[in-house]
Amino acid sequence: MRGHHWTHFLQNLMSLRIFANKFRDKLINTKMKHCVLALVWGLLMPLCMWAETTNDSLNIISNDTLISLPPINGDSIDYTADEEVIPDSIWAQDTVRTGTPLYKFVHSPHFRNANISVLVKEIKTGKQLAEYRSVYNMIPASVTKVISTASALEILSDTFRFRTKLEYDGEIQNGVLNGNLYITGGGDPTLASTNSNNKTAIFANFLAAVKKKGITKINGKIVGDASLYEEEGGPGIWLVEDIGSAYSPTPSALSFYDNLITFTMQSDNQNVKLSNVTPSTRLFQPKLDINVLAGNVTSKVTQTDYSWTPLVSGRMKPNSKHGIRIGIPDPAHFVADSMLSTLKKAGISVNGTATTQRLLRATAPRKTLAVYKSATLGEICKPTNYKSINLYAENIFSQVGLKKERPSTKTASADVIAKYWKKKGLSSNTIFQMDGSGLSMKNAINSAFLVEVLSYMYTKSKYKKTFYESLPVCGVSGTVKYLLDKTPLAGKVHAKSGSMERVQNYCGYIEQEGRAYAFCVMINNFAGPRASVKAEISRLLNGVMAEEAALYQSSTEAVQTQASDEVQLPTESTAPEAEEPQQEENSNNAQ
């Protein structure tokens, strides 16, 4: 339906409402009780009220909001058929419904049944370039990491370092420790991480401390202590299929090797055996229920919290290898056992076994032998956002919760973060953050709040540079390497991605002609290929920024024209005196 026909239709319905109201008055004044007449009025009023509401939502928006749309209902519209042709340098407000990039975006057939939230905003002026349902909460996926890292930088500082301690209880006599040795986790998610340079540094550091103390024998246990954070096994707020997977290992205050273990199975003509485990450990003893058959390779891992004996079922081809990566079932136990092996290889006798504080529940006072410090939080935030590392984000999030309680809980972390941003004047009361990574489907965050956080970090945070550089560059690096690639915005956008099944979100910064913009685009429950959704997002952002550039160019030309019209020739007596100060002023401005 063409725009002017639609408008006439609404106006006619609104006129009908006036008739309906008069009919209602007649009904009341004459005390008419006929059911038929009452039914007619009852049918007219909802239709007329809908027409008035729809007409109001289609009214021209304010000057400081260039593009804004009401929720879209009904069938997909072919917006190309009747699109109005306008000059590139002019963005007429009466085309907001039929010609804008945002209109085309929300009317994409991929988004017919989707939920969409969009906000593009110039940071300095607060001017909105595009806005659509920006205060509606959505499943954010990994754009949640923007809140987690920004909050941690603000609350903990960019120089904060996680500390892992080597402690002991009991007494040391004649080189014999009569007590337990503890590796006490401080939340460092980077211990032996694939993103760290030295995977064995912590064990070398701790072994040196034991030798320096003169300990040659330990009459006690080697204990991994991860009690700094709440120990819950696989987070119950995550989807079952996510828990313990390669991209969502169980978080722990004592993490190691990204909390991931990779094992390889080897088949012959009949049987399957475990051939390799990385990182090496004697704890891991999976139960293999694999059929050796021709056809596609399938595998399924079933495990319970803290169990080292998961069931691996599926099918393998004869004489083949198949590798699987899963989360380490109990990272604290793994670290304790690795330390035990390190001590024995160095010739230090240990009479006890490797265990965890979760099981031992030791209460004896401890003394510190050594402290191993992580890289700075500022340095850790970069891989967290660049590579979207869920484990890093979870531990960063949990560390913030220690500002409220110990052991830290997700509830405490969310409360600390919400109160911090509320104190800064942001609308944190409008969101629901359940974890640090965005893996929970219970997270509910809106694009308006994300843009608020981005704007604050850009204009008010002393950690602006650290945070800004933690976001990868679209078309260049990280998880957004192919977004906006080979478009005018390639290399000009720092952004964080967030994706799940039927979820695709982006938020970040756009730099254009010396001006900075914060944006957030969130789409839940889209249909069609993810690549098509990303292409739509690319067209939206490039379209909006192209119109913004054209608008600024038009405004600049208008100002220049006005200034030219106002120029007056100086009189003969004042011209020499006025010329020199003007030149000096221009010279100072250039400096």
Q: How confident is the model at residue 72 (pLDDT cuts 50, 70, 90)?
A: very low
pLDDT in tens, 296-351: 999 998 888 899 999 999 999 999 999 999 999 999 999 999 999 999 999 999 99
Pairing status of strand 349-350 against strand 217-218: parallel
Q: What was the pLDDT predicted at 234?
A: 72
Domain edges within the chain: 132-156+380-528, 257-327
Q: Taking a C-beta distance cutoff of 8 angstroms, is the pair 168, 181 a contact?
A: yes
For the sheet containing 260-267, what is the strand order?
272-278, 260-267, 321-327
pLDDT above 70: residue 232: yes
pLDDT in tens, 239-267: 666 666 666 788 999 999 999 999 999 99
Q: How confident is the model at residue 43 (pLDDT cuts 50, 70, 90)?
A: low
Cα–Cα distances in angstroms (integers) from residue 412 to residues 202, 395, 399, in the given order: 29, 13, 10
- Judged on CB neighbours under 10 Å (0-12, 13-18, 19+), 287 is exposed
Average of per-residue pLDDT values in the chain: 83
Q: What was the pLDDT predicted at 198?
A: 72
pLDDT in tens, 453-510: 999 999 999 999 999 999 999 999 999 999 999 999 999 999 999 999 999 999 999 9
pLDDT above 50: residue 122: yes
Q: What was the pLDDT predicted at 560?
A: 62
Secondary structure of 462-483 in the HEC alphabet? CCHHHHHHHCCECCCCHHHCCC
Tell me the backbone φ, ψ of residue 149, rounded to 5 degrees. Answer: -75, -40
Q: For 498, what's the count of Cα atoms within 13 Å in the CB-facing half-sphere?
A: 31
434 beta partners: none
Q: What six digits make up the tokens of 332? A: 């604290």
Q: What was the pLDDT predicted at 577?
A: 39
What percentage of the chain exceeds 90 in pLDDT? Answer: 69
Q: Taking a C-beta distance cutoff of 8 angstroms, is the pair 218, 260 a contact?
A: no
Q: How confident is the model at residue 551 (pLDDT cuts 50, 70, 90)?
A: confident
Residue of 11 and 99 predicted with greater confidence: 99
In angstroms, the CA 148 to CA 433 distance is 9
Q: pTM of the prediction?
A: 0.78
Tell me the backbone φ, ψ of residue 184, rounded to 5 degrees. Answer: -100, 115
Q: How many helices and strands (H and E) does the chain possess? A: 14, 20
Q: Residue 494: how many CB atoms within 10 A of its CB?
A: 23
Backbone conformation region of residue 463, classed left if phi is above 0, alpha if psi is from -120 to 50, else beta: alpha
In angstroms, the CA 165 to CA 206 distance is 9
Place of tokens 């000057």: 63
Among 196, 169, 193, CA closest to 180: 169
What percentage of the chain exceeds 70 in pLDDT? Answer: 75
Among 443, 440, 501, CA closest to 236: 440
CATH architecture classification, 132-156+380-528: 3-Layer(aba) Sandwich (3.40)
In angstroms, the CA 212 to CA 218 distance is 14
pLDDT, mean of residues 510-523: 96
pLDDT, mean of residues 512-539: 95
